């Protein structure tokens, strides 16, 4: 049987081909940005910015915490403190602003999960600014820190802007609009973050 490549590609469902193209495009974008220095430049700009660590250096630290704490700012304060006390060295040894942003991500994921990040981390499969600080749960009740924000000024600025505006009494929709206006014009695609509900 003589089957050419075009015939085979027609047999693969369109959705699978589309997913493969997006995955390849994301990987290619990260590679191009990393090779050109764009990923470090997008994440840089602050006095604490450092070069992007190698792939092997991105280990997560998991800490037990009640499931409700990930979405409820009034969750068990003792569990929150335990999770903060167990933060990894790349957070513990970071400048005060970076630590403040990580602490806010831990305490108020219900805020920054609605904020996009415009540092280029969409190519890393991040869905919102929250993914820059905390990884998806490895198990129920576990918090896993993400190293990315420890060297990315855009991530930190986004979280701290959200923190400041919440303290001023602004709505999530207002904060989202400001984040988009402040960081969205830098030519770097934002994360595919849902709009705040309500």
Decide if 194 is inside a domain. Answer: no
Decide if 193 is inside a domain. Answer: no
Decide if 101 is inside a domain. Answer: yes
Number of domains making up the chain:
1
Decide if 108 is inside a domain. Answer: yes
Decide if 192 is inside a domain. Answer: no
Which residue range(s) make up the domain with 44?
A: 12-186
Closest alpha carbon to 177 in 196, 159, 153, 155? 196
The pTM of this model reads 0.67
Q: Are 156 and 81 in contact (CB under 8 A)?
A: no
Spell out, as residue ranges, where the chain has pLDDT lower than 70: 1-75, 136-142, 198
Decide if 178 is inside a domain. Answer: yes
What pLDDT digit, counting tens, does each position of 29-67 carry? Answer: 444 444 444 444 456 544 434 333 433 333 344 444 433
Decide if 166 is inside a domain. Answer: yes
């Amino acid at each position: 049987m003589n089957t050419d490549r075009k015939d085979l590609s027609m047999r693969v469902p369109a959705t699978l081909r589309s997913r493969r193209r997006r995955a390849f495009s994301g990987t290619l974008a990260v590679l191009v940005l990393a090779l050109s220095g764009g990923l470090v430049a997008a994440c840089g700009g602050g006095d604490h910015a450092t070069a992007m660590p190698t792939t092997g250096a991105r280990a997560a630290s998991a800490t037990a915490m009640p499931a409700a704490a990930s979405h409820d700012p009034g969750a068990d304060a003792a569990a929150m403190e335990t999770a903060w006390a167990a933060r990894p060295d790349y957070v513990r040894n970071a400048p005060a602003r970076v630590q403040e942003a990580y602490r806010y991500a831990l305490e108020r994921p219900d805020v920054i999960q609605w904020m996009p990040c415009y540092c280029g981390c969409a190519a890393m499969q991040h869905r919102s600014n929250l993914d820059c600080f905390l990884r998806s749960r490895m198990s129920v009740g576990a918090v896993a820190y993400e190293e990315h924000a420890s060297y990315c000024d855009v991530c930190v600025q986004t979280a701290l802007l959200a923190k400041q505006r919440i303290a001023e009494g602004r709505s999530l929709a207002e904060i989202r609009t400001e984040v988009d206006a402040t960081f969205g014009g830098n030519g770097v695609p934002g994360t595919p973050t849902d709009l705040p509900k309500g």
